[in-house]
Structure 1
């Protein structure tokens, strides 16, 4: 019996079946035999796939449902790709996962890359096994008509898919269940949905134009699709993967472990995340693609390809939902899913029940849309207890604190930051921004700490200016123009900066004049881009404010790293490291996958905790929808305190992951890269600096006056924005009243 009833999923379109489904079945059956897949055996001599198993899984049916409009020839090719990818997964399980043979698995995966050369005309090695033979054949049939850009992206997707199998093997050996943020990032790469998105491009003749394929809107659309497809599969494959194969990388298990809520509730949380990701595609397509088309000058044909791609992803998801209900690969789940989808017995998934499932998915969509856009009560905000926040590292305070306080006060006055209306002397003193610098960079010398403190002051000031001048009035055009003007104050030659017109521009020009000379050449080229990415990410927040849309939780977490400026803060930490002790942190270390993962964990801790501390301020004073407490509260349908508890638990999980990576992954990476002596010392100082930064950020967050109520002050126009217009004939322009949602968060986060 299946451990839970599989819930109905939100699907944007009804599933449609390609009319060439039977031809695809016949073709792929013949191709599978030709490649020798059904003759392949595992270590014990038994076949990896029997003919009966192959027929029951019915991968051509998956292709026919996920690509309903492609030709017979293309459908045959797509069917073969799906046969290969599922066979690769099952073959890897039998050959390497069951035996926990990591070194053999690593060598095997490295060898597969040779069968997919970037140049499809290049020679490939002689194949020695069905997995290799099939991959070489598929690449030969797929790659030639596609552009070099598509081939490069698809090779990356395939490598992610295959290499993450090794990470799953390591996870099984560790016995540890990942936290949700780590898991979602891993699942995106490992699940094959990015790879499937690449096939959608090829099958529909909808290859993304190279100049926009890696832009934020299309990256968000592809990532949201990958997340939805992967987590949808997790709900169906739980019994097979967790109970039969001993897998720990399954989203239902991850949510159950994190929330302590049981598999049924965990599956429902997954259902909600999947629906949110599919609606993220809709929102991004509607609100960001038109501007993308105009910005990059796409012609009608290119715009059409992008839109076909987006629709193709939506069709794919509807199709995979249908296939999971029908395939024999997850027989227990299919029966449990039929009952959940139709609200009745398993046979309700058959002919004539599409309307029942369509009604269910519309209900899911309407409920989630109401939750995301419902008005946010703000006066007063629901009180939220700020926890002590776990921290395994002690904090330190720079001995230069008092000198830096005096310098910061003088600099803020000289640049005009304290002339109002954004800041006044009292607010400046209460926040104690110099203490933030002294706590997060306690190792820095006085001159460097004064410079770092100046950047902190400027960033906090610009954030408050942006809220007052652009967020509250909902002025997107003005915000964009203002932010686009800032890079002019960071030219290669600081003396070439234009005359500043306000305190923010004046402060930026002064900081860049003092910073540029002390940066290494590569960092000097990179630094202005980090500042620009940091500040321009606030346009994403402003767009949510204008739509009165509480963000999708995954998009929020990923964008929160940018809106908090964590890449910028990392650059400041490296700037503040002592000079003359062997040079900068080795580039090959900083660019590694292990350090990328470590810094992503580091980057989540401070911003998530800040959202809890700043909840009252942002709700009551700023009319804000971009706050993690609110995101969790709306998504799970809970109180603000429960939302804060979820956020605190997520930050704690990221802290544990950072600590684990710093203690285990970093030493192993240094050994792998041959970093010893001076280079290893620089790495150790950098990791130590990141630990001190976290400890200092926690201390400042818990003690600063920045987030404390300062009286009944309200920002201009706040009442009008919260309550809408009044008077005869204006009711349609006002937002609807709040719609109560069921309290759905169980386990340790329950009241």
Structure 2
């Protein structure tokens, strides 16, 4: 890992308490198994490593987004909604409608999303809201794509999966949230710079592959095919360890892509004669994204969800969570 750690936000324990209080106040029901899993997931740790300098208010808000996102992820990855395309489509469509403000929320997950969106978008520009909406919706619909693949017995190609994973890892919305705590608001012209796009993609690719390496043991037991280690083993043959080693080499290469994109973005800023607040904002992204990558890497090495996977969790058969009830 070529990037130095930027430390952990000192507000981590306050954020942990705030997340569980928020979940209770929003009637987000977690079974005993789900509670244990969330405790082992430690969303407050990821947020505190990714945003070590965020204010307590921002840290709490971002952690609550992550708490909500993990509930969504576990429902669609492990529950029946992830194996029934129609059920999956209906659940995601409802969430997207609530996110867009075109549907009154019904059920605790929808009410929680509505509250998060209101707090997050307050004071943000329409262009930022559009970006955050696009990235969040793109993440949600990846669950539907995977549900259809499961039922159809389709396994994606490695190239197709790289594109899919870029959205499914959900790093892009948190890169948008970074702008809140950084006090910046990128114009569309800056978002359209090739090197800025490449930098975001590399950061997301690193997170997705790191997660796949750490999640492989549990997902292989589930028969979950949307994992890069599994695809590498399928395409190249050999042992699981050889596939993991190859994935590790890919991870190092992606870190090099982050560095290359940083250099190219600095060159593009100069070539386009970008100055003022836009230049400051882009330079802040260059400065902070390395810490995002390192924080994500450190989280996967520390959270019990990945360091000590509890394979007994997959034995529980989930019905559709009451949080998702229509």
TM over 0.5: yes
Structure 2 contact 214–307 (Cα < 8 Å) conserved: no
Distance 1:90 1:263, change over 3 A: same
Partner of residue 312, structure 1: 288
Secondary structure of 1:116's match? helix
Q: Displaced runs of 4+ in structure 1, greater than 4 A?
A: none
Partner of residue 96, structure 1: 81
Q: Distance in 1 between matches of 2:33 and 2:186?
A: 36
Partner of residue 424, structure 1: none
- Is residue 185 from structure 1 mapped to residue 176 from structure 2 by the alignment? no
Partner of residue 57, structure 1: 41
> Any residues of structure 2 matched to 1:498-577 within 5 Å, and which?
none
- Is residue 225 from structure 1 mapped to residue 216 from structure 2 by the alignment? no
Partner of residue 284, structure 1: 261
Structure 1 contact 217–285 (Cα < 8 Å) conserved: yes
Q: TM-score, normalised by structure 2?
A: 0.88
Partner of residue 105, structure 2: 127
Q: Distance in 1 between matches of 2:305 and 2:166?
A: 21
Structure 2 contact 84–151 (Cα < 8 Å) conserved: no
Q: Higher relative contact order by CA 8 Å / sep ≥ 6: 1 or 2? A: 2
Q: Deviations over 1:52-111 (max 9, x none)?
A: 3322221111100111111111100111111011111112231412xx211121122112
Partner of residue 96, structure 2: 113
Q: Distance in 1 between matches of 2:122 and 2:203?
A: 26
Of the candidates 205, 211, 232, which is equivalent to residue 255 of structure 1?
232
Distance 1:294 1:127, change over 3 A: same
Structure 1 contact 11–317 (Cα < 8 Å) conserved: no
Partner of residue 296, structure 1: 272
> Any residues of structure 2 matched to 1:727-746 within 5 Å, and which?
none
Q: Distance in 2 between matches of 1:273 and 1:156?
A: 28
Q: Distance in 1 between matches of 2:68 and 2:150?
A: 24
Of the candidates 34, 40, 52, which is equivalent to residue 68 of structure 1?
52
> Any residues of structure 2 matched to 1:652-731 within 5 Å, and which?
none
- Is residue 234 from structure 1 mapped to residue 225 from structure 2 by the alignment? no
> Any residues of structure 2 matched to 1:317-716 within 5 Å, and which?
317-332=293-308
Partner of residue 143, structure 1: 121
Structure 1 contact 78–203 (Cα < 8 Å) conserved: no
Structure 1 contact 24–79 (Cα < 8 Å) conserved: yes
Structure 2 contact 81–88 (Cα < 8 Å) conserved: yes
Partner of residue 320, structure 2: none
- Is residue 23 from structure 1 mapped to residue 41 from structure 2 by the alignment? no
Secondary structure of 1:261's match? coil
Structure 1 contact 48–91 (Cα < 8 Å) conserved: no
Secondary structure of 2:300's match? helix
> Any residues of structure 2 matched to 1:164-175 within 5 Å, and which?
164-175=142-153
How far off its partner does 1:310 sit? 2.6
Partner of residue 137, structure 2: 159
Partner of residue 725, structure 1: none
- Is residue 35 from structure 1 mapped to residue 26 from structure 2 by the alignment? yes
Structure 1 contact 231–274 (Cα < 8 Å) conserved: yes
How far off its partner does 1:272 sit? 1.6
Q: Deviations over 1:419-473 (max 9, x none)?
A: xxxxxxxxxxxxxxxxxxxxxxxxxxxxxxxxxxxxxxxxxxxxxxxxxxxxxxx
Q: Distance in 1 between matches of 2:114 and 2:33?
A: 20
How far off its partner does 1:167 sit? 0.9
Partner of residue 512, structure 1: none
How far off its partner does 1:315 sit? 0.9
Q: Distance in 2 between matches of 1:150 and 1:263?
A: 42
Distance 1:176 1:114, change over 3 A: closer
How far off its partner does 1:207 sit? 2.9
Secondary structure of 2:145's match? helix
Distance 1:95 1:34, change over 3 A: farther
Partner of residue 195, structure 1: 173
Q: Which runs of 5+ in 1 are unaligned?
A: 1-9, 41-46, 118-122, 335-751
Q: Deviations over 1:221-262 (max 9, x none)?
A: 01111111101100001112221x321100000000001022
How far off its partner does 1:11 sit? 4.3
Structure 2 contact 94–103 (Cα < 8 Å) conserved: no
Structure 1 contact 217–289 (Cα < 8 Å) conserved: yes
Q: Distance in 2 between matches of 1:130 and 1:187?
A: 27
Distance 1:333 1:314, change over 3 A: farther
How far off its partner does 1:199 sit? 1.9
Q: Deviations over 1:607-654 (max 9, x none)?
A: xxxxxxxxxxxxxxxxxxxxxxxxxxxxxxxxxxxxxxxxxxxxxxxx
Q: Which runs of 5+ in 2 are unaligned?
A: 311-326
Structure 1 contact 228–278 (Cα < 8 Å) conserved: yes
Q: TM-score, normalised by structure 1?
A: 0.40
Considering fraction of residues, name the structure with more helix.
2
Larger Rg: 1
Q: Distance in 2 between matches of 1:246 and 1:328?
A: 21
Partner of residue 83, structure 1: 67
Secondary structure of 2:24's match? helix
Q: Distance in 2 between matches of 1:57 and 1:314?
A: 23
